[in-house]
Structure 1
Amino acid sequence: MLLSISHATTYFYRQPVLFGPHRMFVRAIEGHDVQIRESGLRVTPSARIRWLHDIFGNSLAIAEFSQPAQTLEIHSSLMVEQFNTNPFDFVLDDLAVSLPFSYADFEAIDVALYNTVRHPADTDAVRRWIRPFLSAKGTARTLDFFTALNKSVPLFFNYARREEPGVQAPGETLNRRSGSCRDFALLFMEAARQLGVAARFVSGYLCRPADSAASVVAEDATHAWAELYLPGAGWKGFDPTSGTLAADLHVRTAVAREPTHANPISGSFSGRGDDYLRMDVKVDARAIPAAGG
């Protein structure tokens, strides 16, 4: 399946300002499941752009500016081919079939930073949320549990698009019963970590199907979801905003241990605090109809 993604972000300022370095995660993560066919990145005012792999292996573009401007425009384009058409095409190792489970010794040291609870103040609230999905003894079939928990979010929480940076703490999302895709991803991650399961944050896009005129939750925006490391399956994507497993319409641009490490675009400027006016984000992410379709 071919997917086309156009992502334009424009920052407006009251007067010309000088920009500090800007970090951009706008290139798809390639692998056996996703391959890039075309890509482009345009930045105005002109900037020196260099690429590197960050500590998580993501392709990171860094733009460095030499001239001030009153607007900053960043436009990326992608054409990718997606092969992950069946997200359930895996078999869990015997040790991971039921919760709770322990990782094998050779993996335990590597997942230790990913299955540690990061919001201890919200532990009780998260436990109350996941309790109905567990047996009286606190056990469950691993895939059944996470699939049901994932599906429950769009049923009992309200999605609220938010372009501003920052993520709600899991307890706040539970209290509000609403949040952005970033908030739901973090809540899901924290639930997994409380059960000792390694979880990480994913930034990317959710594309519209080619054969449907219906709207897609979180469409026309950057998107975020969670990945869990399940022995036998590897890192598997769970999208609590849509209630689905990440599959052929999801495109990853960054993975990280915490949301703050995977902001699609981040940077700074030199000027007065009130020089910044607003930000506009336009995303068009869609599947391309098959030839003759």
Structure 2
Amino acid sequence: MARLEVVHTTEYAYRTPVGLGRHRLMVRPDESHDLRLHRADLVVAPAPARTTWKHDIFGNSICFLDWSDATRTDRLTIVSTLDLTHHPDGPPLPRYILEPQAEAFPFAYAAGERADLGQLAVPQEPDPDGTVAAWARRMLGEAGSSDTLDVLAAMTRAIKAQFGYRARYEEGTQTAADTIRGGSGTCRDFAVLMMEALRSFGVATRFVTGYLYDDTSGGTVGGGSTHAWCSVYLPGAGWVEYDPTNGLLAGANLIRVGTTRDAAQASPISGSFAGRPDDPIGLHVDVSVTYAPIHGA
């Protein structure tokens, strides 16, 4: 259990004052058995004329910011501050109990689960050359076990070992096949690779966006900004989180903010402006995660 403060700052700079279109934010987690949200503050400058909270198709909390037509600015600053307590599944890493039909990989879902999981268990990217499917089969062979939990742990650690982390601040992800061919990527790319590899076996996965904390391993990457990983639906255990960027299992260092079918649906902050194409001159993102005392613990 950890009491944490997360400060997520995003700053946009423009060459000349621009108008601001609607912005969409995914920065507030929903409370659950593994996360208690004590406080969530949002400070925006210039202040929007209207702030609206909704739930998206996946049930994530989404904030929409709208400014008046008269608003013009050469800088937009958005600061989200969260005070929360996180209850991860570990330590030590839990040994999940799976339903018998899911203990050996690959496995098949029951008809009812298959109907509800739908597109989450189907590859979302074209793989005409079979690059991703071939890589996934090779990982299955190299796992040295048919135990489902062992296979997933081996795939998570193989991505960390085989691919180089390369920060990229532009929006979007590269395809799983491009990650394999290029040998490097971002946390978003690695999450998509693991998702598409597992979906090639009919295993349901979700893209997860959030924050990384507590670098106890001495070698985690992805801090200082938003982070991305994936969750896998395992009958008997439910949704279990895997961070292939850092080889982390069970979400012990991961603060989940939102889950989606596709990476493009999980942008922490997106929006538009009215101005010239060359007006944007800077984007700065900073995430700090600090420990707060737990009173009475």
Aligning the two structures, in what range does the TM-score lie when normalised by the shorter sequence? over 0.9
Residues 1:76 and 2:80 aligned together: yes
Are the aligned partners of 2:89 and 2:250 in contact in 1 as well (CA < 8 Å)? no
Are the aligned partners of 1:208 and 1:219 in contact in 2 as well (CA < 8 Å)? no
CA distance in 2, matches of 1:249, 1:45: 34
CA distance in 1, matches of 2:45, 2:249: 36
The one-character-per-residue Cα deviations of 1:44-93 (angstroms, maximum 9, x if unpaired) are 11112110111100000111011121111000011111112425253111
Residues 1:200 and 2:206 aligned together: yes
Superposition deviation, residue 123 in structure 1 = 5.9
Aligned residue for 1:6?
A: 7
CA distance in 2, matches of 1:213, 1:197: 29
Point out where structure 2 has 5 or more consecutive residues left out of the alignment: none
User: Would you identify which runs of 4 or more consecutive aligned residues in structure 1 move more than 3 Å?
Assistant: 212-216, 286-293
CA distance in 2, matches of 1:214, 1:103: 38
Q: How do 1:95-244 residues align onto structure 2 when only pairs under 5 Å count?
A: 95-121=101-127, 124-135=130-141, 140-209=146-215, 214=218, 216-244=220-248
Q: TM-score, normalised by structure 1?
A: 0.93
Partner of 1:28, secondary structure, is coil
- CA RMSD of the aligned region, Å? 2.2
CA distance in 1, matches of 2:296, 2:113: 47
Residues 1:17 and 2:23 aligned together: no
Are the aligned partners of 1:208 and 1:215 in contact in 2 as well (CA < 8 Å)? no
Superposition deviation, residue 257 in structure 1 = 0.3
Choose which of 283, 289, 296 in structure 2 pairs with 1:285. Answer: 289
Point out where structure 1 has 5 or more consecutive residues left out of the alignment: none
Superposition deviation, residue 135 in structure 1 = 4.4
Aligned residue for 1:254?
A: 258
Are the aligned partners of 2:94 and 2:250 in contact in 1 as well (CA < 8 Å)? no
Identity %: 39
Choose which of 35, 45, 49 in structure 1 pairs with 2:51. Answer: 49
Q: TM-score, normalised by structure 2?
A: 0.92
Are the aligned partners of 1:18 and 1:270 in contact in 2 as well (CA < 8 Å)? yes
Partner of 2:9, secondary structure, is strand
Partner of 2:178, secondary structure, is helix
Residues 1:245 and 2:245 aligned together: no
Residues 1:26 and 2:27 aligned together: yes
CA distance in 2, matches of 1:208, 1:9: 22
CA distance in 1, matches of 2:66, 2:98: 45
CA distance in 2, matches of 1:173, 1:289: 41
CA distance in 2, matches of 1:122, 1:281: 36
Superposition deviation, residue 208 in structure 1 = 2.6
Partner of 1:185, secondary structure, is helix
CA distance in 2, matches of 1:213, 1:135: 28
